[in-house]
Structure 1
Amino acid sequence: MKEGGITPSEELITNLEVYLGELYSWNQRINLTGLKTIEEMALKHIGDTLTLIRFLPKGVHHVLDIGTGPGVPGLILKLFRPDLEIVLIDAIRKKVSFLNTVIAIIGLTDIWAEHCRMSPKDIPRHFPPESFDVIVSQAVGPLDELARMARPLLSPNGLVIAMKGPK
């Protein structure tokens, strides 16, 4: 982290340890991620989020994470940037239960995890139009579908950050 210009506080380190410990524990019982060790989870999930942080413009306040899974990148982003208001959505209830548990254990505020299925034809009506400065997504469907889902929810000068794999 220090190489990326981030000097972690004791609170951040503790919160990341809690997150990773809970993720590892829950993943033993229910499949939240294909990664099996805490080391793999830390390298992949925290590493991906640190990459994303470099692309966040100044003045960002409201973030939507579509298909957050085990909180990547949204929940981890909140740990690094507690000033952000973040909505995490996922279509799988067990993942949302995990997220709500971690949010409660750590005592995070201004972050909400919601069970919600989104598609270009089915955008939740309770999200106000143009209400998010940044919409993030990791490995969720084709880019054109993500763009159609994001467009009505994105503020006029907003940004979509799609974290896609090599395929």
Structure 2
Amino acid sequence: MISNEAEAKKYVASLCSDEDFEKLEQYVSMLRDENRHQNLVAHRSLDNVWHRHIADSAQLVRYVPRETQVVLDLGSGAGLPGLIWTMIRPNDQVILVESRRRRIEWLQRVTNLLALTNCQIFGERLENMETFHAEVITARAFAPLPQLVALAERFSTKGTTWVLPKGRSAAQERQKLPARVRSLFHVEQSLTDQNAGILIGKSPPE
């Protein structure tokens, strides 16, 4: 279990190259600065930013294979987990979906300044996007699970992996899914919070 900032930084560093870890450090600095102008994350959480946000996002990559091609991050906001994924897995194509203008502009600045060429930003509501297929669908604080699955399942195939950090509500949200979908999801223990869970699933059958 990761319990503090030092452990969080060590864990994240083990997942990426030195060059990409430097980009993550730059991202953290940019996040702190931008949070003074818009509420990207809870202000108090910045005291433990590597534990609460960076490692918490980084741990999600362990549930998907290295040959992943397209990762879809819904409601990316501050770029969590999508931007973190982009820097840890630079060979994956990561698509961030965000509809709020100021957050779109922030994401664009970060991707440009850090030269994150494997990252693409869709600045619109998910409902308005054209359908494409993603090998991974993730979201950190997008919508309750039944609504999330209903909105995003058109982007999935039978091989798509869903990786959804849901905190302490993971098991309860799973129970709210229709029975045919519920059986496809299970809860994994978060590495950053002993009371939090991550919902892992395969796409519902067509």
| Inter-partner Cα distance in structure 1 for 2:46 and 2:147 | 32
Q: Is the 8 A contact 1:24 1:36 kept in 2?
A: no
* Structure 1 residues 34 and 51: alpha-carbon distance in aligned structure 2, compared to 1, 3 A threshold: same
Q: TM-score, normalised by structure 2?
A: 0.71
Match of 1:124 in 2: 129
Q: Deviations over 1:110-160 (max 9, x none)?
A: 211222223xxx2512x32xx100010112211111111221111331111
Bigger Cα Rg: 2
* Structure 1 gap ranges (5+): none
Match of 2:35 in 1: 27
2:71 matches 1:67? no
2:155 matches 1:153? yes
Determine helix, strand or coil for the equivalent of 2:35: helix
Q: Deviations over 1:80-113 (max 9, x none)?
A: 0000001101121111111110101111112112
* Structure 1 residues 4 and 22: alpha-carbon distance in aligned structure 2, compared to 1, 3 A threshold: closer
| Inter-partner Cα distance in structure 2 for 1:116 and 1:40 | 31
* Structure 1 residues 36 and 97: alpha-carbon distance in aligned structure 2, compared to 1, 3 A threshold: farther
| Inter-partner Cα distance in structure 2 for 1:5 and 1:21 | 16
Q: Which moved more, 1:151-160 or 1:64-73?
A: 151-160
User: Could you list the runs of 4 or more consecutive aligned residues of structure 1 that deviate by over 6 angstroms after TM superposition?
Assistant: none
| Inter-partner Cα distance in structure 2 for 1:37 and 1:48 | 12
| Inter-partner Cα distance in structure 1 for 2:100 and 2:67 | 31
Task: State, as a whole percentage, how many aligned pairs show the same letter.
Answer: 27
Kindly provide the amino acid, as one letter, of the partner of residue 18 in structure 2.
Answer: E
* Structure 1 residues 155 and 123: alpha-carbon distance in aligned structure 2, compared to 1, 3 A threshold: farther
User: Number of paired residues?
Assistant: 161
2:89 matches 1:84? no
Q: Is the 8 A contact 2:16 2:89 kept in 1?
A: no
* Structure 1 residues 162 and 153: alpha-carbon distance in aligned structure 2, compared to 1, 3 A threshold: same
Determine helix, strand or coil for the equivalent of 1:108: coil
| Inter-partner Cα distance in structure 1 for 2:146 and 2:15 | 36
Cα RMSD after superposing both structures: 2.0
Note the C-alpha offset of 1:25: 0.5
Q: Deviations over 1:47-84 (max 9, x none)?
A: 11222011113421100000111000010011000000
